Amino acid sequence: MTHDEIIECPKSGGNLCYKIQVSPDVNQYLSLSCGFYSNSLMKEGEEFYEQTIEGLPELHKDLLWKDEKTGLIWAPNLINQPEQGMVFAQGTDKDNWGWMAVKAVKIAEEDRKNHPFPGKPGMFLEYKMDMKSGKLFKERDYLDALSFIGIIPE
């Protein structure tokens, strides 16, 4: 049985951190206050953590944050809603970054053949990310980035 609640974000101190208990031993966390996520397995030495960071971009690795109280490591979240857009960390390093928000646009019917669905032969995408619509938000403006792509109301 799962249990969820809103807690104070240990990283930002904000009051919009969603905690969900997915099993007796595992909790997942997503902070809308700062845009970072973690779970009970995101600890140094845990196989899940090691596999997770292996594939992360260098910026994400630089942005990892360790909660000294719990040992949990928090990473920047990536939102990808094919019909709305994406929000992801973008920048040169941990001192110079923000949240890039990019809106999705519908692909014209006649152009869909040029946008195959990865791994699904004969299927084509209906939406694509319009990188020209991208807008960079400050580190603490994660909610504004989500609003920009329509995930949450403005």
Q: What is the pLDDT of residues 29-68, one digit of tens each?
A: 999 999 999 999 999 999 999 999 998 999 999 999 999 9
Q: Is residue 120 part of a domain?
A: yes
CB 147 within 8 A of CB 154: yes
Q: Looking up tokens 């329509």, which residue turns up?
A: 150
For strands 135-137 and 96-106, give the pairing.
antiparallel
Regarding whether 65 and 88 lie in a shared domain, the answer is no
Q: Which domain holds residue 22?
A: 3-76
pTM score > 0.85 for this model?
Answer: yes
Measured CA to CA, the distance from residue 42 to residue 51 in angstroms comes to 10
Name the residue with higher pLDDT: 101 or 117: 101
Q: Among candidates 70, 91, 79, which has minimal Cα distance to 30?
A: 79
Predicted local distance difference test score (pLDDT) of residue 3: 76
Tell me which amino acid residue 70 is.
T
Regarding whether 121 and 69 lie in a shared domain, the answer is no
In the predicted structure, residue 154 carries a pLDDT above the cut 80: no
Last-in-domain residue among 76, 99, 131: 76
Last-in-domain residue among 76, 100, 132: 76
Q: Is residue 123 part of a domain?
A: yes
Regarding whether 55 and 89 lie in a shared domain, the answer is no
Predicted local distance difference test score (pLDDT) of residue 117: 84
Total structural domains in the chain? 2
Q: Is residue 154 part of a domain?
A: no
Last-in-domain residue among 23, 43, 76: 76
Regarding whether 101 and 40 lie in a shared domain, the answer is no
User: 52: part of which helix (H) or strand (E)?
Assistant: helix 47-54
Q: Is residue 97 part of a domain?
A: yes
Predicted local distance difference test score (pLDDT) of residue 119: 87
Regarding whether 66 and 95 lie in a shared domain, the answer is no
Regarding whether 83 and 53 lie in a shared domain, the answer is no
